Structure 1
Amino acid sequence: MDDTTRPHGTGPVASTRAAAEVLQADRSRTRAARRLRLRDASAALDRLAELAARLLGAPIAQISLLDDVEVVVAGAGLPPGTVGREAPLDATACAVPAAEGMPVVVPDVHAEPRATDLPQVRAGIVGSYLGAPMVDSDGFVVGVVCVAAPTPRPWSDTDVATLRQLAAAAITELELAALRTAYEGDRLRYGLAIDAAGIGTFDWDLRTGELTWDDRLIEMFGYDAESFGGTIEAFNDRVHPDDLPRVTDALQASIAALGDYEAEYRVVWPDGETRWVQARGRTLRDGDGGAARVLGAAYDTTAERAAGLRVTRVLEAMPAGFYSLDREWRFTHVNAEAERLLGRGRDDLLGQELWTAFPAAMDGAFETHYREAVRTGKPVQFDAHYPAPLHGWYEVRAWPSPEGLSVYFLEVTERRRVQDRAERGAQRLALLAQVSAELAGALDAQTATAHLPRLVVPALADWCIVTVVDPDGRPRDVGHWHADPAARPLVDRYAGARIDAMPVTAPLMRALLTGEAVMERTRAVVDLLPEGEARDLLTALAPESAVALPLRGRDRTLGVMTLYFRRGWAPREEDLATAQDVADRAGLALDNARLYGQQQALAEGLQRSLLTEPPEPDHAEIAVRYLPAAEAARVGGDWYDAFLQPGGATMLVIGDVVGHDTEAAAAMGQLRGLLRGIATYSDAGPGEVLRGLDASMALLQTHVMATATVARFEQTADELERGVTRMRWANAGHLPPLVINPDGSVAELASWRGDLLLGVDPEARREESVVTLDRGATVLLFTDGLIERRDADLDAGMARLREALRELAGRPLDEVLDEVLDRLVDGRPEDDVALVAVRLHRQDRPRPLDAGPNRVPDVVPDDPASPTLR
């Protein structure tokens, strides 16, 4: 854990034991970790662990909380039973980034003295490690997000930045879970407080005399549903005789004045028990202005009477704001919490109309939901934002009543802030994942980079232009996008004109030259541009600001992504960091493409030196192809060859050295040269040539194995007269040749058998097979990369090849080979592919023009009676 690998921090700790002692000494961190260890966040943390493994390409990802011990709360690729496990702090690598408060990068744990004693290292589970601390809003490290691999690997700055963002997302999820739990507790407490008040309601219709009580009030007066008569007499029968005159006077006064009613009195139950009841009500008038109904509520105050408690005390003690409104939207009650949340005293609010006291509540969610509750008579619940001077979000519940509206509310500004931050973090991580997928899955890095503006707009900017540097060093705009479809034609014209107009002091050019981000107000950029189309277009697009982010490779800047903002001077810091991460990933993809191109050119040069052009003997047309594996260097162990022997015979060779790397390519060159030398000096047949090659390999101690097929084409004078040719061939564990007959059929060569691979037993006997071919036939030799697939066996591949050859039988030889490669591997084989084919043209006619010139060495004899065919 070398200091040079740490992008941030105050310094290393001496050991994991020292890190554990630092953590255990800080009790405030312990309390914070315990406070944030919440089940509500477990699902989100599991997703973050899986995302960490995917984004960083690591087989293991883990999220741990740290207090007195380490607790693994989420993970991906961990052994069964790891999640939920507790471990001592001095037995975990996560104690180090937690104690240091910064990311810790360990490319090779075996080279790190502090890691060698850890159980995961000794067990071979962890070979490389990257961990980032989870820092809460109070600045305490409460846990660690880490990724690991069983073998050493480097961790890039991009990997560190990505893990830091994931750690921030994890702590956000934990804080959001803590806030959610707190708010749920508050809601439960004020709900229980309402139930605890034991309030019952009554409705006395003065026109019919009917008195309606709810169940709670019936119980309060010692009745049940059957014994309660529903009349004022039932009420009078239960009121204490000493209190009845006072209560009756209060009711009559309310009716006469069409006003409020309030009384506290004793209720005598049939068994003699006395209860105290507090009642409040109001007389409602009918259409003619007379008294129609008395509505109200009552609650049992027996237990609270001695202490003078009332329902208002319950409301005052509630942890939620509460206010009530009459039918004219005037404040009739405001509790202490509401005073605090609203920033206004109750003396100021009581009697004042809601819309006057809080005008911003009109024409919005508050007015819409309040009027809906009054209109429908049903409770409503909603979240809404109130602007200045409150500047807050509120969770509101409103219950309608005959008197008006009762409103309970909580301030949830912090919860919304944390929730919005979590959503923005998730969106940024999703954007990075999408960018990585686009760049990783594209065949052309420049094409994928050109698509970046459509990914970052409008998530990170209002519009964007991406510039790349050509091989000759000239910048070129390759992609652009605007959030407003109407502005996209202007951006298209601006992207076509701006490069030639840009001075070296422009942000784009400064970012290219320095490799650092450059932010500038657009007015300053307009002033730098000369009079002309580019300046006019930028003025018309009217962004307020822009930032040029370099697309950095390993040792150079390969382009710039310019983000434009129509409102506000600068993006949020976290959005700017995400944008730079996108630019860095694009720069790395472009750099990989550049390096791959250089490697490809070098490898192709080596390939051309190893795989030479074939000869063109009379009336025999030879064509060759070599295609490297799509995921490997453009050189491998497959090879083809075609040459003439001293006696004039044409010999074709196809071979495959076991392996898929540069060592296999080097071995291929050695075996190819040996086989050529043996065949061209000895004039021997295919079987003897393979036997000699096997013996030479043993003598020279090449220590490789290979497969090969050698075919020799022979013809006597009689066969020349009859228009046929013999193919004598031997096989060392390789696939057999295929023959396309002149009638278009494909010969199966059912009699073939493959001998032992080369390099296994130098004493192995090599058998030869002979097949007679009509002139006009085509013979194809190929390596297994042409027909082998991960999802299918070789028989299926051979069937596809035979079908393709039947369909292509009448086409020119070069076209046949190109079409076979296109149909079977689509230009991207999973393994190297080598092909060599010969077409035997008729000898009683001139050599066809499409067969090319007749090219043979001067030393080869020209004797028609020779038993070989040149």
Structure 2
Amino acid sequence: MNAIDRAKDPGVLRAIFEGLGSGVFATDASGGLIAVNPRAAQIVARPAAEMLGRDMHDLLHRHADGSPFPRDECRVIAALAEGRPAEGGDEYLLRGDGTTVPIIWAAAPLKLEGEPDGLVYVFHDFSVRRAAEEQTAAHLAALETLTARLTLVSEISSVLISSLEVSLVLRRLGRLLVPELADWTAVDVYTGQPGELRRLAVHSEDDPVAAGALEGPLPPLPESSASPLARALRGAGAMLLDADDLAREPGTPLDAAHRELFERLGGHSAVVVPLNSRRQVFGALTAARTGDSPGYEDDEAMMLIDIGRRAGLAMDNARLFDQQRHVAEAMQRQLLTPLPQTDHLRMAARYRPALVAAEIGGDWYDAFLLADGVTTMVIGDVVGHDLQAAAHMAEVRNMLRALAWDRQEPPSLIMRRLDEAMTNTSDAPMATVVFARIEGAEGGPWRLHWVNAGHPPPLLVTRDGRARYLEGGHGPLLGMSATLNLGMSWPDAHEQLPPGSTVLFYTDGLVESRTRPIDTGMEVLCRHAAALARRDVEDFCDELLERIDPRGDDVALLALRLPPSGAGAAGDDTPPPARGRRAHSPAAPTRSAPGAEALGADDVFTDAPRGDDDLTETPRGDDRPPRP
């Protein structure tokens, strides 16, 4: 038998029908089953004999949940009625055990001699592939959830390190958690005072007014309470709360305050986690869900625990930084000098650390009396913005004091000896310094005698508002000439100081920044100083810093205000600065001005007033306080 004849052999066709790996149904023109192959019976878990003669649609076609599929919506019935091929997927057949099986199918007209056309229906079990698709979709959904949570943790981590302002950071944290992990959040913290608690931040998008009203002081932590909030505040761990837990009556005032959150904002599920580092518990975070939101799962609670730990570490870092800042500030104030208010001369000083540094650096000012009774003024800057720079600054300052006191010689020679001393006895790096003597008899005239080692020039501002820089006396930076054996020198410079004028010494942080060159900064300083010429010397310094608002580097200011002509001279009864009110001083309040003990309180005043040096030419009546 040849191949053509074999293809027509009923036995061959029967073998194909029965051995086909796909399910095959054949129906008559009314949709009744007239043939079922073994694979079809296996897929629908029904004996073939039971199905023959039954309507295929009524017997088998169902929705995924097993409910009947409308006949008028069945595409197989439509294909049978129209006598055309059709195919489809995402449909279900009812199995003998009552479950449904997803299939993909194809149908074509069945032409039988002498009979109306029936239908051949071929289908495949799609459950394995559908399960794989559903598993893939579940994996993708889980991956998306994980990615979203990792993104949230990343954002939270960024917020936690964005600022050392704890209250600001914790408020931002609450806003980030809503609505991704909570419908509302509350942060309760220790205030730093023994036993004091405060609800620092409550955030709810649904009711922000009610949330804000819930912030404020809290009752103290009771010793015996085992409530979720009390346990978290003791660092005992996180607590996952359901509706039954939230329904329990509060046993302490602190529990009642926690319960009020849920009464005002709602909630059926919550997680309370401590905000703690390894060394300390700083507070607790409550995250809650309301309405139709699902309850918390264990993995979400673990994520909140991690967030609470991260917040606790950020709070610990802020606390440590604050401690270091106070230590640095105290050290800097010990290094800075109280100013001698000698005779009728007035001095004022300011120190502003770099905003990005640790409140300490290499800028300094100094003023003290020499053995010959002359007042000196110093402004300087050692390279650096850290503790090492401050140590070098103290070293250079003390060298300069000793050298200036040791011999009565011009500033230029003192500067040369300081340069040699730095090179041979110190590891201090390069420094810039202006060293000046205020020379003149009581009552004037006064003369400034100075030398400048690579520092911005002093600024002279007259009483009538004219300002100019004193460019003389310039020489190399300290630590450069002797090191390189350059043999350079520092020339002395002199300038007569008009009565009522102001001499301003400053460091480069006042005039130089990343946003403008130093020349521009010096022009700005000159203009503002001229406009402030008639201000009290204390106000002069404050307003100058306010107007210029230097940022990015340490700034030190030292200002000298000359008295009116003849003030303090023989026959003049104008008192020197009184001791009744203290002038602002960056130095520690426990320190006294250099030379105060040796010269006596009548000659050196560390408690100079503010606002008492009005230089207008007004009569001096007898109502002025007597000279001490």
Give the TM-score normalised by structure 1: 0.52
Residues 218-229 of structure 1 aligned to structure 2 (within 5 Å):
none
Structure 2 partner of 1:350: 56
Cα distance in 2 between the residues matched to 1:415 and 1:559? 41
1:738 to partner: Cα distance: 2.4
State how many pairs are aligned.
538
2:57 counterpart SS class: coil
Cα distance in 1 between the residues matched to 2:170 and 2:413? 56
Structure 1 partner of 2:339: 614
2:161 counterpart SS class: helix
Residues 352-501 of structure 1 aligned to structure 2 (within 5 Å):
352=58, 357-358=63-64, 411=130, 412-473=133-194, 474-483=196-205, 485-486=206-207, 488-496=208-216, 499=219
**2:348 alignment partner AA:** A
Cα distance in 2 between the residues matched to 1:757 and 1:466? 54
1:571 counterpart SS class: coil
Cα distance in 2 between the residues matched to 1:350 and 1:832? 90
Q: Is 1:516 paired with 2:516?
A: no
Change in Cα spacing, 1:661 to 1:536, as seen in structure 2 (3 Å) is closer
1:553 to partner: Cα distance: 2.3
1:528 counterpart SS class: coil
1:813 to partner: Cα distance: 3.2
Spell out, residue by residue over 1:275-299, the C-alpha distance to the aligned partner (whole angstroms, 9 max, x if none). Answer: 999xxxxxxxxxxxxxxxxxxxxxx
Cα distance in 2 between the residues matched to 1:342 and 1:814? 97
Cα distance in 1 between the residues matched to 2:25 and 2:555? 81
Cα distance in 1 between the residues matched to 2:43 and 2:530? 84
Change in Cα spacing, 1:612 to 1:435, as seen in structure 2 (3 Å) is same
Q: Is 1:591 paired with 2:316?
A: yes
Cα distance in 1 between the residues matched to 2:434 and 2:265? 68
1:580 is matched with which residue: 278, 290, 305?
Answer: 305
Contact 1:756/1:764 (<8 A) preserved: no
**1:591 alignment partner AA:** D
Cα distance in 1 between the residues matched to 2:26 and 2:500? 102
Structure 2 partner of 1:251: none
Contact 1:334/1:350 (<8 A) preserved: no
2:341 counterpart SS class: coil
1:571 to partner: Cα distance: 2.5
**1:818 alignment partner AA:** D
2:356 counterpart SS class: coil
Spell out, residue by residue over 1:128-176, the C-alpha distance to the aligned partner (whole angstroms, 9 max, x if none). Answer: xxxxxxxxxxxxxxxxxxxxxxxxxxxxxxxxxxxxxxxxxxxxxxxxx
**2:319 alignment partner AA:** R
Contact 1:554/1:591 (<8 A) preserved: no
Cα distance in 1 between the residues matched to 2:467 and 2:40? 91
Greater helix content: 1
Cα distance in 1 between the residues matched to 2:544 and 2:44? 79
Change in Cα spacing, 1:533 to 1:793, as seen in structure 2 (3 Å) is closer
Change in Cα spacing, 1:358 to 1:768, as seen in structure 2 (3 Å) is same
1:778 is matched with which residue: 475, 480, 502?
Answer: 502
Q: Is 1:528 paired with 2:234?
A: no
Structure 1 partner of 2:81: none
Change in Cα spacing, 1:401 to 1:683, as seen in structure 2 (3 Å) is farther
Contact 1:545/1:568 (<8 A) preserved: no
1:390 to partner: Cα distance: 8.7
Contact 1:501/1:529 (<8 A) preserved: no
**1:859 alignment partner AA:** L
1:737 to partner: Cα distance: 1.8
Contact 1:497/1:533 (<8 A) preserved: no
Cα distance in 1 between the residues matched to 2:216 and 2:516? 49
Cα distance in 2 between the residues matched to 1:719 and 1:462? 75
Structure 2 partner of 1:553: 277
Spell out, residue by residue over 1:510-559, the C-alpha distance to the aligned partner (whole angstroms, 9 max, x if none). Answer: 12223422334454453233597764663454433332211112411111
Cα distance in 2 between the residues matched to 1:840 and 1:400? 109
**1:435 alignment partner AA:** I
Comparing 341-350 and 431-440, the one that deviates more: 341-350
2:489 counterpart SS class: coil
**2:146 alignment partner AA:** G
Change in Cα spacing, 1:596 to 1:400, as seen in structure 2 (3 Å) is farther
1:442 to partner: Cα distance: 1.9
Structure 2 partner of 1:859: 599
Root mean square deviation of aligned Cα: 5.2
State the percentage of identical aligned residues. 30
Residues 651-666 of structure 1 aligned to structure 2 (within 5 Å):
651-666=376-391
1:500 to partner: Cα distance: 5.2
Change in Cα spacing, 1:468 to 1:717, as seen in structure 2 (3 Å) is closer
Cα distance in 2 between the residues matched to 1:807 and 1:501? 57
Spell out, residue by residue over 1:5-29, the C-alpha distance to the aligned partner (whole angstroms, 9 max, x if none). Answer: xxxxxxxxxxxxxxxxxxxxxxxxx
Cα distance in 1 between the residues matched to 2:184 and 2:328? 41
Spell out, residue by residue over 1:439-489, the C-alpha distance to the aligned partner (whole angstroms, 9 max, x if none). Answer: 222241232113211111221223221122121242221111235x14x44
Comparing 494-503 and 662-671, the one that deviates more: 494-503
Structure 2 partner of 1:746: 467
1:570 to partner: Cα distance: 5.6
Cα distance in 2 between the residues matched to 1:308 and 1:635? 95
1:713 to partner: Cα distance: 2.4
1:717 to partner: Cα distance: 8.6
Residues 307-326 of structure 1 aligned to structure 2 (within 5 Å):
none
1:837 to partner: Cα distance: 1.6
**2:332 alignment partner AA:** Q
Cα distance in 1 between the residues matched to 2:38 and 2:492? 104
Contact 1:638/1:783 (<8 A) preserved: yes
Structure 1 partner of 2:354: 629
Contact 2:459/2:470 (<8 A) preserved: yes
Spell out, residue by residue over 1:717-736, the C-alpha distance to the aligned partner (whole angstroms, 9 max, x if none). Answer: 9963xxxx432221112222
1:441 counterpart SS class: coil
Contact 1:332/1:350 (<8 A) preserved: no
Cα distance in 1 between the residues matched to 2:339 and 2:563? 17
**1:680 alignment partner AA:** W
Cα distance in 1 between the residues matched to 2:576 and 2:60? 100
Spell out, residue by residue over 1:50-78, the C-alpha distance to the aligned partner (whole angstroms, 9 max, x if none). Answer: xxxxxxxxxxxxxxxxxxxxxxxxxxxxx
Q: Is 1:670 paired with 2:395?
A: yes
1:770 counterpart SS class: strand
Contact 2:228/2:239 (<8 A) preserved: yes
| Greater relative CO (CA pairs within 8 A, separation 6+) | 2
Change in Cα spacing, 1:540 to 1:449, as seen in structure 2 (3 Å) is closer
Contact 1:780/1:835 (<8 A) preserved: yes
Spell out, residue by residue over 1:301-338, the C-alpha distance to the aligned partner (whole angstroms, 9 max, x if none). Answer: 99xx879768995865xxxxx9999xx99999999999
Structure 1 partner of 2:518: 794
**1:813 alignment partner AA:** V
2:367 counterpart SS class: strand
Structure 2 partner of 1:833: 555
Residues 46-445 of structure 1 aligned to structure 2 (within 5 Å):
350-352=56-58, 357-358=63-64, 411=130, 412-445=133-166
Change in Cα spacing, 1:469 to 1:853, as seen in structure 2 (3 Å) is closer
1:678 to partner: Cα distance: 2.6
Contact 1:655/1:709 (<8 A) preserved: yes
Cα distance in 1 between the residues matched to 2:164 and 2:33? 68
Structure 2: 5+ residue stretches without partners: 77-85, 92-97, 110-118, 568-573, 584-592, 604-628
Cα distance in 2 between the residues matched to 1:832 and 1:500? 43
Structure 1: 5+ residue stretches without partners: 1-273, 278-300, 317-321, 371-377, 384-388, 863-870
**1:425 alignment partner AA:** L
1:818 is matched with which residue: 542, 552, 560?
Answer: 542
Cα distance in 2 between the residues matched to 1:350 and 1:586? 65
1:647 to partner: Cα distance: 3.4
Change in Cα spacing, 1:859 to 1:811, as seen in structure 2 (3 Å) is closer
Cα distance in 1 between the residues matched to 2:336 and 2:200? 38
